[in-house]
Amino acid sequence: MVSRRMRTGRSWTLEILLALYLGASLLHFMHNAEFVAAYPNLPEWITRSSVYLTWLGITAVGAAGYLLLRFKLRVVGLVLLCLYAVAGLDGLLHYTRAPIGAHTHAMNMTIWFEVVVAAALLLYLLATSLRGVRADQAA
């Protein structure tokens, strides 16, 4: 019996990376929101609500990118997904406010988990884009 993946030639790598990043991002943002007062040197205007709203906005960009990609609007979808992944690197901005040692282990773990998964997603998206460009040039 031939599996669905073998019939369609479709890899689930993107979906797996997106699910991992969604989870890592949610974990980091939830930690930020619930412990916003404990994060060193964050501006006072950053509140629990603003953290959750920011996460929803960033996630909407990723969801739109994925849907556009699936509806064959490849370039726009990939651009939005790359922006979504790049947003995951912004957790490193915590370290412009205070050094790593000023953050708790949980803070550092959620920041780095999101950053590493976002970087893996971004690298996958860039590799996928390059394969698409090369295939178009060969055609």
Q: How far apart are CA 83 and CA 63, in angstroms?
A: 11
Residue 45 domain-assigned (yes or no): yes
Residue 87 domain-assigned (yes or no): yes
Q: What does 91-105 look like in DSSP terms, one character per residue?
A: GGGHHHHS-GGGS-H
Position 5 scores a pLDDT of: 45
Burial of 135 (0-12, 13-18, 19+ CB in 10 A): exposed
Q: How far apart are CA 16 and CA 119, in angstroms?
A: 14
Q: Tens of pLDDT along the chain (139 residues)?
A: 433 443 445 579 999 999 999 999 999 999 999 999 999 999 999 999 999 999 999 999 999 999 999 998 999 999 999 999 999 999 999 999 999 999 999 999 999 999 999 999 999 999 988 876 566 556 5
If one counts the domains in the chain, the total is 1
Position 52 scores a pLDDT of: 98
Residue 12 domain-assigned (yes or no): no
Position 46 scores a pLDDT of: 95
Residue 67 domain-assigned (yes or no): yes
pTM: 0.87
Residue 59 domain-assigned (yes or no): yes
27: closest CA among 121, 113, 85? Answer: 113
> Position of tokens 């609007």?
73
Which residue range forms the structural domain that includes residue 126?
19-131
Residue 2 domain-assigned (yes or no): no
Position 95 scores a pLDDT of: 96
Position 130 scores a pLDDT of: 80
